[in-house]
Amino acid sequence: MSVPADAPILTTKAMREAEAACAIQGTSLSELMELAGAAVADTARRMAAGAPILILCGPGNNGGDGYVAARLLAERGASVRVAALAEPVTDLAKAARAGWSGPIEPLNGRLAPAPLIVDALFGVGSSRPISDELAVILGHFDDRRILAVDVPSGVDSDGGANWTPPLSADVTLALGALKPAHVLLPTAPACGRVLLAPIGISASKAIGTLPKPGTAKPDATAHKFNRGMVLVFAGPMRGAAALSAAAALRAGAGYVVLEGSERAPFSAIIAESDERFGERLNDPRVGAVVIGPGFPAGDELLFDVEAALDSNKALVLDAAAIDAALPRLSETPRNAILTPHEGEFARAFPQLYGSKIDRAKAAAARTQAVVIYKGADTIIAAPDGRVAAAWPGSPWLATAGTGDVLAGACGAMLARGGDAFDAAVAAVGWHIAQAARIGPGLVADDLVRE
Ligand X SMILES: NC(=O)C1=CN([C@@H]2O[C@H](COP(=O)(O)OP(=O)(O)OC[C@H]3O[C@@H](n4cnc5c(N)ncnc54)[C@H](O)[C@@H]3O)[C@@H](O)[C@H]2O)[C@@H](O)CC1
Ligand Y SMILES: Nc1ncnc2c1ncn2[C@@H]1O[C@H](COP(=O)(O)OP(=O)(O)O)[C@@H](O)[C@H]1O
Which stretches of the chain bind K ion, using CB under 5 A? 119, 148-149, 153
Residue 17 makes contact with ligand X by CB under 6 A = no
Strands 379-381 and 370-373: antiparallel
Q: Binding to ligand X (CB under 6 A): which residues in 186-245?
A: 201
Element (H, E) at 370: strand 370-373
Residue 402 contact partner, candidates K ion, ligand Y, ligand X, none, CB within 5 to 8 A by sort of partner: ligand Y
126 is in an annotated binding site: yes
Q: Binding to ligand Y (CB under 6 A): which residues in 71-110?
A: none
> Which is closer to ligand Y, CB of 43 or CB of 394?
394
Cβ 8 to ligand X, closest distance in Å? Answer: 13
Residue 378 makes contact with ligand Y by CB under 6 A = yes
- Among residues 11, 43, 57, 65, which is the contact residue for ligand X, using CB under 6 A? 65
> Which is closer to ligand Y, CB of 404 or CB of 446?
404
Cα–Cα dist 11/60, whole Å: 18
- Among residues 84, 147, 203, 406, which is the contact residue for ligand Y, using CB under 6 A? 406
Cα–Cα dist 13/271, whole Å: 52
Query: Are the C-beta atoms of 304 and 330 separated by less than 8 Å?
Result: no
Residue 404 makes contact with ligand Y by CB under 6 A = yes
Strands 207-209 and 193-197: unpaired
Cα–Cα dist 304/280, whole Å: 12
Cβ 255 to ligand Y, closest distance in Å? Answer: 24
Residue 397 makes contact with ligand Y by CB under 6 A = yes
Residue 407: exposure state from Cβ atoms within 10 A (0-12, 13-18, ≥19): buried
Query: Are the C-beta atoms of 128 and 160 separated by less than 8 Å?
Result: no
Residue-wise burial string across 154-179, b where 16 or more C-beta atoms lie within 10 A, e elsewhere: bbbbbbbeebebbbbbebbbbbbbbb
Residue 64 makes contact with ligand X by CB under 6 A = yes
Residue 32 makes contact with ligand X by CB under 6 A = yes
Residue 11 makes contact with ligand Y by CB under 6 A = no
Query: Are the C-beta atoms of 340 and 350 separated by less than 8 Å?
Result: no
- 446 DSSP 8-state letter: G
Cβ 347 to ligand Y, closest distance in Å? Answer: 13
Q: Binding to ligand X (CB under 6 A): which residues in 112-171?
A: 122-128, 130, 149-150
- Among residues 1, 20, 23, 89, which is the contact residue for ligand X, using CB under 6 A? 89
Cβ 297 to ligand Y, closest distance in Å? Answer: 15
Half-sphere exposure of 378 (CA within 13 A, CB side): 26
Amino acid at 291: I
Residue 341 contact partner, candidates ligand Y, ligand X, K ion, none, CB within 5 to 8 A by sort of partner: ligand Y
Binding residues for ligand X, rule: CB under 6 A, are 15, 19, 32-33, 36, 58-65, 89-90, 122-128, 130, 149-150, 175-176, 201
Q: Residue positions in the annotated binding site for (6S)-NADPHX?
A: 61-65, 123-129, 150
